[in-house]
Amino acid sequence: SQTIHQWPATLVQPVGSPLSLECTVEGTSNPNLYWYRQAAGRGLQLLFYSVGIGQISSEVPQNLSASRPQDRQFILSSKKLLLSDSGFYLCAWSGQGDTIYFGEGSWLTVV
Amino acid sequence: DAKTTQPTSMDCAEGRAANLPCNHSTISGNEYVYWYRQIHSQGPQYIIHGLKNNETNEMASLIITEDRKSSTLILPHATLRDTAVYYCIVGGQAGTALIFGKGTTLSVSS
C-alpha cells in the first residue's frame, strides 16, 4: 500500500533562518505531489504542485520554493523565513487520475 | 478561489444522520465533487468523490443533484469522532490540484 511521510512534524525557527521540509511517498511511482499551507484559523492554501521530476508549478508567489529531486521526494524550502510563514504545512500525493491523499503535516512556528 | 459554498457550521446529535450540503453552481462537465474532512491538527482525510451518480462507501454517501449544481454528504450514523471540518471541493480529472474553501465545521454531540 502507498504511504506518505513528512518531516519534521514540528519546528520552531527564528525569523531570517532557512527552512527545509521533506516529503516522500512509498508504494507508487510517478505520483503528483503537492504542498499546501494552513494558517491559524484559515483554510488550506495550495502552494506548489508537481507532475514529475523537476516540474514545479507555483500557485502563490511568496517566500517559499519547492523542488522535486527524485520521483517520490518533494521538498519545501525557504532561504529566509518570515513571521507570516508560520502555519501548518501539508504534503499530499495522488496517482495518475486518482484521489489526493494527505500526510500528517508539519507545524512551523517562526519566532 | 474555491468554487463551492458551504454553511459555516452545523450541529448533529450522536447516532443521527448528518447531512452536509454544498453548492457548486459553476461546476463544469468534467469536474468531480470531492469531500474531505479535517480533524484539528491532522491532515485532511479523503471521504468520497463523484462525478454524476450517487456514491456510497464505508464512510459516507454522496448525493449529487441531476443538474450537478449541488450535492449532499451524508454520514448515516454520526459519532463524536465525526466532529471535524468538512470540505466540499470541485476539481478537474482526479489527481489535479484541489482548491479548498473554508468548509463546514460539524459538531456532533451526545
pLDDT tens digits, A52-102: 998 999 887 678 999 999 999 999 999 999 999 999 999 999 886 668 899
Mean pLDDT of chain A: 91
Residue B95 and residue A44: Cβ atoms within 8 Å? no
The conformation of residue B81, written as its DSSP 8-state character, comes to: G
Please give the residue of chain A at the shortest CA–CA distance from B91.
A99
Instruction: Give the strand pairing for A65-70 and A73-78.
Output: antiparallel
Mean pLDDT of B34-52: 92
- Asked if pLDDT for residue A106 goes beyond 60, the answer is yes
CB-CB neighbours of A96 under 10 Å: 13
Task: Output the pLDDT for position B93.
Answer: 62
CB A26 within 8 A of CB A2: yes
Residue B97 and residue A49: Cβ atoms within 8 Å? yes
- Which of A91-95, B90-94, B103-107 has the least mean pLDDT? B90-94
Q: How far apart are CA B62 and CA B69, in angstroms?
A: 13
Contacts of A9 in chain B (CB under 8 A): none
Mean pLDDT of A34-43: 86
| Type of residue numbered B40 | H
* 3-class state of residue A106 by DSSP: strand
Mean pLDDT of chain B: 91
Task: Output the pLDDT for position A43.
Answer: 81
What number of C-beta contacts closer than 8 Å exist between A and B? 59
CB A7 within 8 A of CB A24: no
Question: CA of A53: how far to CAs of A18, A35, A49, A101, A107, in Å?
Answer: 23, 15, 11, 19, 26
Distance from CA of B11 to the nearest CA of A (A): 19
* 3-class state of residue B27 by DSSP: coil
Please give the residue of chain A at the shortest CA–CA distance from B103.
A43
Residue B95 and residue A95: Cβ atoms within 8 Å? yes
